[in-house]
Amino acid sequence: MSPPYLRVRISGPITTSSWTPESGTVESVEHRLLVRDVFRIVFFLPYDHFDIAAGVSHALDTYVRAVEGRSSALSEYSCCWWEAFKLGERGWTLIRDTLRPKERTFFEDYPKHEARSAEKEGAHPYFTLYGERESGYCFDYRARLPFRETPPDYVSVLSVTLPTECVEEWGPGFVREWVLDMASRLPFASGHAGLALDVAHVSIEGLAALRPLMTRHPGFDLRNANIRDFMGTRVDGVHWLNFLGPPVLSGLGGVAGLRTRLQSPTTTVQELVGERAIVTLGPQPEVGDLELGQVLPEYRELARLLEPWLEPFEPTDDEEEALRHWWRRFLD
């Protein structure tokens, strides 16, 4: 049992729209959680679905075993082009079939008039398992489109979340070993795990209540990784658990080079199979508190070391300066 972590639950209105031939477009407003604290795990995999399906299947089995018996953990699913449905036998059949590809297909092999249907034909497989709304549970896998000559930055992405309460219940030592098991068969270029804020599909910059958290607690991750990140072999920031593979790890001098250059007494570097490693920043995940002088020095040390490989900041809104400050929170 670990000590309690900071809770973040910010509610507000979300406008949704629906369309029918009879009524046309109808908008409705509902009050729900806009921001929730979670424990997030993400892996960036520079491989096609055919090459990583077995590893993703193992990661899914690891997840399902961990949440077994929790009624709110496995509630709905979507698979490829299917909408979200209640999870049952049919859903599991679709997901398991997705994770057993029978042959390698390439996007270029589809006739032009069928190219837009490649997702439905399984060329770009993905699926999501949802927990009950606002529960904090999610298992999301999105494979990249399999080109014969893949653009260099295209990756497949596996993203998993758990409610922060699981870390408290299981303890950080168990959680770390569980994440390692999930990663054990994934040929990742990079990955991470740590405390995060799950932000609903509304403008981050428009949430005034979120800005103080961004500036006060640097250990919270804000980004929801997805296939559109085009991460390549770059690194998505610094977190409690940091998974490094080629070519970043070799560029840092391998495991030996990392151990030499990381001096924080609470940082550990563990070598993994396949020329990969995990860097653990402290015995448990932290969000820090700048108002109390908790600046997370081990996070800053790793960020300075990884700076040449970090994903570049790309502003997308009017609050560029605030986001830039958060993006470089461990560097400036």
Q: Residue-wise pLDDT tens for the chain (332 aa)?
A: 567 899 999 888 777 776 777 777 877 777 888 899 999 999 999 999 999 999 999 999 999 999 999 989 999 999 876 678 899 999 999 999 999 988 887 777 766 655 555 554 555 788 999 999 899 999 999 998 888 888 889 999 999 999 999 999 999 999 999 999 999 999 999 999 999 999 876 655 556 778 888 889 999 998 876 555 688 899 999 999 999 999 999 999 999 999 999 999 999 999 999 999 999 999 999 999 999 999 999 999 999 999 999 988 765 555 567 778 888 999 98
Residue at 62 is within a domain: yes
Query: Angle between the 89-98 and 49-67 helix axes, to the nearest 10 degrees?
Result: 140
Quickly list DSSP for 236-302.
Answer: ----SEEEE-TTHHHHTTHHHHHHHH---TTEEEEEETTTEEEEEESSS----BGGGTB--HHHHHH
Residues 6+ apart with CB under 8 A from 119: 80, 81, 126
**How far, rounded to the nearest angstrom, does the alpha carbon of residue 53 sit from its chain's CA centroid?**
17
Residue at 332 is within a domain: no
Residue at 185 is within a domain: yes
Residue at 1 is within a domain: no
Residue at 4 is within a domain: no
Residue at 277 is within a domain: yes
Residue at 57 is within a domain: yes
What is the domain extent for residue 205?
Answer: 9-327
| pLDDT score at 304 | 97
Residues 6+ apart with CB under 8 A from 63: 139, 160, 182
Q: How many distinct structural domains can be found in the chain?
A: 1
| pLDDT score at 120 | 47
Q: Which residues pair with 262 in a beta bridge?
A: none
Distance between CA 141 and CA 128 in Å, rounded? 6
Query: What single letter denotes the amino acid at residue 129?
Result: L
Distance between CA 332 and CA 319 in Å, rounded? 18
| pLDDT score at 37 | 96
**How much of the chain is in helix, strand and coil states, percent to nearest 5?**
35, 25, 40
Residue at 24 is within a domain: yes
Query: Angle between the 49-67 and 172-183 helix axes, to the nearest 10 degrees?
Result: 150
